[in-house]
Amino acid sequence: MVFYYGHPAVLYINKLRVAGVLEDGIDQFFEQLFETGVDEMSWDDLSQGRDDWPPIAAITDYRRKAYQIVKQ
């Protein structure tokens, strides 16, 4: 479930970068980790082999930074 907490903020930042509004992101690791949506196909199961998600506090910090950027 932590994926769904980080994904929306990353989606906004990545879209702003693609649109040329932002030159750089906030955290490249997060922007790669949380960018891809979750499909219900077995080959796209994020829960397999991933038990080292970032701490909630780090994701919350990313979300706050993303909010400040989007708010501008």
**Domains contained in the chain, number:** 1
- Mean pLDDT (the chain) is 88
Determine the pLDDT at residue 28. Answer: 97
| 6 within domain boundaries | yes
DSSP string, 14-39: HHHHHTTS-SS-S-HHHHHHTTSPP-
- CA-based angle 40:42:48, to the nearest 5? 105
Range of the domain at 63: 2-34+54-71
pLDDT in tens, 10-45: 999 999 999 999 999 999 999 999 998 666 556 555
Using pLDDT thresholds of 50, 70 and 90, give the confidence band for residue 50: low
CA quadruple 26, 60, 56, 36: dihedral sign: negative
- Can you give the pTM of this predicted structure? 0.82
| 20 within domain boundaries | yes
Average pLDDT over residues 48-72: 91
| 17 within domain boundaries | yes
